[in-house]
Amino acid sequence: MNDFMGRKVSYSSQMCFIPEESTNSVPCYRLLSTHGDLLDPSSINELDKELCIEMYRKMVTLQVMDTIFYDAQRQGRISFYVTTIGEEAINIGSAAALNATDVVFSQYREPGVLMWRGFTLQQFANQCYGNEYDLGKGRQMPVHYGSNELNYLTVSSPIATQVPQAVGAAYGLKMDKKDACAVTYFGDGGTSEGDFHAGMNFAAVLGAPVLFICRNNGWAISTPTSEQFRSDGVAIKGQAYGVRSIRVDGNDALAVYFAVKNARKMAVEEFRPILIEALTYRVGHHSTSDDSSKYRSVDEIEYWRTRRDPVARLRMFLQSNRWWDDENEDLLRQDLRTQMMSVLHNAESKKKPGLSNLFEDVYDVIPQNLKEQEQETQAIVGKYPKDYPSDVPLD
């Protein structure tokens, strides 16, 4: 016999309100101490040395790429950039735990996932410069990368819209019985959007194989999490939707890796969504349009940048196991800097996309009115070239 809501209800004559906060905060899973020591030394046997080294190399690559692109924006060479400084472990640790066929719906602070899958530094640069080699054909602002081949959907700015979209894709994967899941990333601020609520709720109702990865980095532009929500962070919201969840130390690449690996297995095998809250800190400004020293102390930023750097933490782990040394480090960083300089120079020297790219892809097949507009535009630009930028090819 069904009671209210079709479940067994346990009645009580003790009037009891669920408290607004629990005495115990949701525990945070970590494998490494802040100094890179394995908390459980015996777990070294479960670690793959080559994988750990590759993860580290990619984290360094991400850090170097970000630093150089940021400087390029400051110098006026690109118009805009968003760094991922401080969140390298989330980016690479999660990416390494996924399969290449898992479909990624990112926010905009997860280029490391694309990088792990094979997007080259040159491709990142081409997109930032919006040149003719940009896979995005110059349609979008910098950092709005995407690649069908790598199953990473083109970045879209509105916050959290990717959350229900990922659930929709996960539903498709389930209907097609694919051995794959959808993965969506968002920040602490994104959990305030209505789309987060709808996405979580739907995923649970539909039994969608989707990972919700929240980068709780403490700041949504100038809004600290204390002003974003009053809950014990984000992981706690899972149960309210019937979604299994975990909180993980987002600056511990190994913890992120294992948490995501396990979550993925559950999502795909049990057809359920999983929420992962990765605690971290946004070391950089929100974007190049922001100066975060205006709303947070420089000391706080420096503390996290120097004393809680996820890249340095994994390095300490690798070096204490003699899987890495200073010489490897110097060589890697030097090589990356040289590569980046060449990549920037290359991207800068390329032509911009031709005029036809203005009118294509509005629809699957270009409509007649746009064909006519393109011809008119070509004619006018051809007739008055001095009135138009010189670097826009007419084809």
Partner 1 sequence: MQSPSSLRSFCAAAKEMTVRDALNSAIDEEMSADSKVYLMGEEVGEYQGAYKISKGLLQKFGPDRVLDTPITEAGFTGIGVGSAFYGLKPIVEFMTFNFAMQAIDHIINSAAKTNYMSAGQISVPIVFRGPNGAAAGVAAQHSQCFAAWYGSCPGLKVLSPYSAEDARGLLKAAIRDPDPVVFLENEILYGEAFPVSAEVLDPSFVLPIGKAKIEREGTDVTVTAFSKMVGYALKAAEILEKEGINVEVINLRSIRPLDRATINQSVRKTNRLVTVEEGWPQHGIGAEICTSVVEESFDYLDAPVERITGADVPMPYAANLERMAVPQIEDIVRAVKRACSRSARGK
Contacting residues toward partner 1, per CB under 8 A: 103, 105, 134-137, 139-140, 144, 146-148, 153-154, 156, 158, 161-169, 171-173, 175, 182, 194-195, 197-199, 201-202, 205-206, 357, 360-364, 367-369
- Minimum CB separation from partner 1 for residue 172, in Å? 4
In the annotation, is 77 catalytic?
A: no
What are the residues whose beta carbons fall under 8 Å from the beta carbon of 289, sequence distance 6 or more?
A: 80
Measured from the CB atom, the residue of 163 and 256 that comes closer to partner 1 is 163
Q: In this structure, what are the phi and psi dihedrals at residue 93, rounded to the nearest 5 degrees?
A: -60, -45
Quote the CA–CA distance of 38 and 35 in Å, as a whole number.
Answer: 9
- Minimum CB separation from partner 1 for residue 245, in Å? 19
Q: Report the 10 Å Cβ neighbour count for 53.
A: 15
Q: Which of 109, 247, 286, 313 is catalytic?
A: 286
Measured from the CB atom, the residue of 147 and 287 that comes closer to partner 1 is 147
Rounded to a whole number of angstroms, the distance between the first and last alpha carbons of the chain is 72
Could you identify the residue written with the tokens 């006018």? 380
- With helix as H, strand as E and coil as C, how does 166-213 read? HHHHHHHHHHCCCCCCEEEEEECHHHHCHHHHHHHHHHHHHCCCEEEE
Quote the CA–CA distance of 191 and 249 in Å, as a whole number.
Answer: 18
Quote the CA–CA distance of 356 and 364 in Å, as a whole number.
Answer: 14
Q: Which of 247, 282, 313, 315 is catalytic?
A: 282
- Minimum CB separation from partner 1 for residue 33, in Å? 39
In the annotation, is 282 catalytic?
A: yes
Measured from the CB atom, the residue of 305 and 350 that comes closer to partner 1 is 350
Which helix (DSSP H) or strand (DSSP E) does residue 337 occupy?
Answer: helix 326-349
Measured from the CB atom, the residue of 331 and 362 that comes closer to partner 1 is 362
Question: How far is Cα of residue 128 from the mean position of the Cα atoms in its chain?
Answer: 17
What are the residues whose beta carbons fall under 8 Å from the beta carbon of 37, sequence distance 6 or more?
A: 316, 317, 320
- Minimum CB separation from partner 1 for residue 197, in Å? 8
Quote the CA–CA distance of 124 and 119 in Å, as a whole number.
Answer: 7
Q: Which of 35, 295, 303, 307 is catalytic?
A: 295
Measured from the CB atom, the residue of 320 and 373 that comes closer to partner 1 is 373
Measured from the CB atom, the residue of 208 and 246 that comes closer to partner 1 is 208
In the annotation, is 29 catalytic?
A: no
- Minimum CB separation from partner 1 for residue 363, in Å? 5
- Minimum CB separation from partner 1 for residue 108, in Å? 13
Q: Which residues are catalytic?
A: 282, 286, 295
